[in-house]
Amino acid sequence: MIFYLVMMAGGTLLSWGAWYFVISTITPSEGGLIGLALFYGTLTLSTAGTCALAGLGIRMVFLKQEIFLEKIIISFRQGIFLALLIDGILLLQALRVLTWYNMVLLIVGITVVEFFVISLKSTRE
C-alpha cells in the first residue's frame, strides 16, 4: 500500500509539473488543438491524482478506515470522476456553453456512471 501511495504521489507531482510546463510554454492562440489537448490531459491527470490521494487521506484520517485495496480502488475511481467533472466544467466554460443546467446534466451523468459501477460491483458479490 505504501508503494501505491508513493507512486501515486510521484505521478501526481509529475502531472502537475507537466501541467505547469504546458501553461508556461504553450500559448492558447499558438498551441492549437494539440496545446488544448495537452492542457486538458495534464490537468485531468493532475486533478485525478490529487482527488484520489485526498479521498484516500479523508478515509484514513477522518473516517478512521483501514487501507485495503478496495478503498484504494474506490478513491481512485472517485478521483477520476471528480477530475472529469472539474475538467468538463472548465471545457464547457472555455466553449462558452456552461450554464446551470449543463452543469447539472454533467453532475447527473457522472453520478449515474458511479451508481452503475457500484451496482456492477454488488451483482458480482
| pLDDT digit string, tens, across residues 19-38 | 999 999 998 778 889 999 99
pLDDT band at 69 (very low <50, low <70, confident <90, very high): confident
Helix-strand-coil split of the chain, %, nearest 5 = 85, 0, 15
Q: What is the average pLDDT across 77-87?
A: 95
Q: Domain map of the chain by residue range?
A: 2-124
Please list, residue by residue across 79-89, b when 16 or more beta carbons sit within 10 angstroms of its beta carbon and e when fewer do.
bbbbbbbbbbe
Residue 23: all three cell numbers together = 501553461
Return the pLDDT at 121: 77
Residues 59/71, Cβ–Cβ less than 8 Å: yes
* Cβ within 8 Å of residue 39, ≥6 positions away: 19, 22, 23, 26, 31
Residues 87/44, Cβ–Cβ less than 8 Å: yes
What amino acid occupies position 125?
A: E
Read off the pTM: 0.85
